[in-house]
Structure 1
Amino acid sequence: MHVLVAGATGKTGLRLVRELHRRGHQPVAMVRQGSDTAALPAGTTVRHGDLTDLPDDVCQGCEAVVFAAGSGGATDDAMTERVDREGAIRLIDLARMAGVDRFVMLSSVGAGDPDPDSDLATYLKAKHDADEHLKASGLEFAIVRPVALTDEDGRGEIRFGDDVDVSGKAARGDVASVLAEALTDSGWTGQTRRMESIPAAA
């Protein structure tokens, strides 16, 4: 499967590209001009695209799209809106117009009911709006909402749904694995699920 990955050189996106290769897919890494692509696996197709100014044909030839991008913690509210809301919504629309079969969204645990008093209020509201747009798009979708991310590989021990500890942690390696699984697992179709990595026993 040809899978467009938005945010392919980020901390989670890069792990996802590697996981897609491992599973026999053909990831298409969407990167901005000038991005460092040296860490991408050999043979990865690179396609230039900036979430603040996406070309109309960015999804062409892809059966699936994964949004694994983010504006980052150092950006102001305006850039957060442009990337996490407007950029994500534009990518969803382009995927639909290109006839993409499935769209998997990396969201956040707080996007379901954004707290307006949170330090992350703008980010969570942007993610919420993008998630809702995806649900209404007519695309086959899956939405993954992890708790706070860590840079660990994870152990593959994962908890989903209402039992997730919202103050817990999710290893980026586990998140990448879940995103890849959501591309092909029919059980994920139309689902929005919270997730966390289960910590090792003391």
Structure 2
Amino acid sequence: MLITDGKTLITGATGSLGKQLVHDFVQRGVQPIAQVRESSDTAYLDRVGLEKRKCDLNTAPSFQELLRGIDAVIHTAAWVNFRQDRPTQFAALNTVAAVKLFQAAAEAGVKRFVQVSTIAAVGARARRNNKTSKALSESDLINEEHDFNLAHLRIPYILSKHSAEDQLQKLASNSSTELVMVNPSVIIAPSRTGDDRGKARKSFKWLLAPDLPNRINLVDIRDVVPGVIGALEKGRPGERYILAGDNITVRALLLDISSILGVAPHLVRLPRTLLNVASRGAVTWSKLTGKGKVSFYPDLVRLLEYDWAYSSMKARRELGFTNRSIERSLEDLLTNNMTGTYLKP
């Protein structure tokens, strides 16, 4: 279905990705409907004259009013954080709310439901050693058929997003509402301060940067959104699509940023044993002090056992997905010139 064919509801419309979706819809002459919470900052949505429907996806007894007259849903609302505590809260929004929303959408006769997930829900490639091969072939990259291999890591965000995919696929197999899932990698987006260059220069001057051989993948928000819209319009029901940018080592990424900023990074190689001890100590300290937030922990360190390198070949072929180079995106971001966004049209 085309975005001009009916009414599209965007959940999480006041988040960074949600607002960029709104921006692109409006640029195409289409007014989507925005799901917001009572406490949401709706200044941008008000500026573009969007219809807002207030609904807390965690606590609403019914989604009937939210979905009234809706033909398609793009579900971006999620709690994105790699802390280890509060697994129940992660599951409540990232899994349970997504499932309930799909069920309600099916009952309301919604034609298509696009679930915005994450590459972490697909999995990662286990590293053979601590070295980086010079080049990757397409067969080395993770695609949509990869068997999820991160269930042993107690990282609530990853587990909750993967569980949502599993449950939604089961529901969709017996539903007339078509499900399409997209899995963006790490999204590069401008901050609301408008001075990403200043923030980055300050960080590079004082912070120690990890010198890691691991590959990671970053993608420009200006490329993710057309990919999401492509999934809505062209995606095959029941399929998932990876929306990824360039694969790059952490070291190369830091050097690229350094070159743009004109500030040398303080690269430091930290032994895994030291990281393991420090992460266990951080968890113990959190328990002793009663501070519930656990942001540094052993399972997070174990992510270093993997490369996060992905292929978007399927999305290119079926959705028409394209991506800017990492160098182009970083240049735009770190010169405060990231135009084509909701912050800087």
Give me the TM-score of the superposition, normalised by structure 2: 0.51
Task: Compute the displacement of 1:92 (Å).
Answer: 0.7
Q: Which among 65, 70, 73 is matched to residue 73 of structure 2? A: 65
Q: 1:149 aligns with which of 155, 180, 187?
A: 187
Counterpart of 1:162?
Answer: none
Residue in 2 that maps onto 1:42: 48
The one-letter amino acid of 2:90's match is T
**Equivalent residue in structure 1 for 2:112, among 98, 102, 115:** 102
1:156-171 to 2 correspondences below 5 Å? 167-171=216-220
Aligned length: 189
**Partner residue in 1 for 2:334:** none
Q: Which moved more, 1:87-96 or 1:38-47?
A: 38-47
Q: Does 1:7 align with 2:42?
A: no
The RMSD of aligned alpha carbons is 2.4
Check 1:177–1:18 CA distance in 2 against 1; reply closer, same or farther (3 A cut).
same
SS for the counterpart of 1:39 is helix
Matching residue of 1:157: none
Partner of 2:237: 189
Provide the residue aligned with 1:156 in structure 2. none
Report deviation, 1:167. 1.8
In the alignment, the residues of structure 1 paired with residue 17 and residue 33 of structure 2 have an alpha-carbon distance, to the nearest angstrom, of 15
User: Which residue identity lines up with residue 190 of structure 1 in the other structure?
Assistant: G
Cα drift, residue 195 of structure 1: 1.9
Distance 1:201 1:53, change over 3 A: closer
* Separation in structure 2 between the aligned mates of residue 118 and residue 174 of structure 1, nearest angstrom: 30
Higher helix share: 2
Post-superposition offset of 1:18? 1.3
Deviation at 1:76, TM superposition (A): 2.6
Deviation at 1:116, TM superposition (A): 3.4
Residue 175 of structure 1 corresponds to which residue in structure 2?
Answer: 224
For residues 78 and 114 of structure 1, the distance between their equivalents in structure 2, rounded to whole angstroms, comes to 22
Give the Å deviation of 1:37: 0.3
* Structure 1 position 117, deviation (Å): 4.7
Distance 2:164 2:104 in 1: 14
Letter in 2 for 1:145: N
Q: Is the 8 A contact 1:108 1:145 kept in 2?
A: yes
For residues 149 and 33 of structure 2, what CA distance do their matches in structure 1 show? Answer: 32
Conserved in 2, the CA contact under 8 Å of 1:114 and 1:124? no
User: Which residue of 1 is the match for residue 161 of structure 2?
Assistant: 127
- The amino acid that maps onto 1:149 is I
- In structure 1, distance between residues paired with 2:17 and 2:102: 19
Return 31-40 or 124-133, whichever deviates more: 124-133
Q: What corresponds to 1:53 in structure 2?
A: 59
Give the letter for the 1:107 counterpart.
S
Question: Which is worse superposed, 61-70 or 188-197?
Answer: 188-197
Q: Over residues 151-175 of structure 1, what are the superposed CA-to-partner deviations in whole Å (9 max), with x where a residue is unaligned?
A: 15xxxxxxxxxxxx97211222221
Q: Which has the higher strand share?
A: 1
When residues 36 and 193 of structure 1 are mapped into structure 2, their CA distance, relative to the original with a 3 A threshold, is: same
- Equivalent position of 1:25 in the other structure: 30
Cα separation, partners in 2 of 1:52 and 1:200, compared to 1, 3 Å:
closer
For 2:162, give the aligned amino acid: H
Larger radius of gyration: 2
**Alpha-carbon separation, structure 1, partners of 2:9 and 2:67:** 7
Deviation string for 1:33-53 (max 9, x for gaps)? 121100125221100111102
- CA gap of 1:7–1:201, structure 2 versus 1, over 3 A, is closer
Unaligned runs of 5+ in 1: 153-164
What amino acid does structure 2 have at the position aligned with 1:44? L
Unaligned 5+ runs, structure 2? 1-5, 123-147, 191-213, 247-324, 329-345
**2:79–2:93 contact (8 Å) kept in structure 1:** yes
Distance 1:114 1:39 in 2: 39
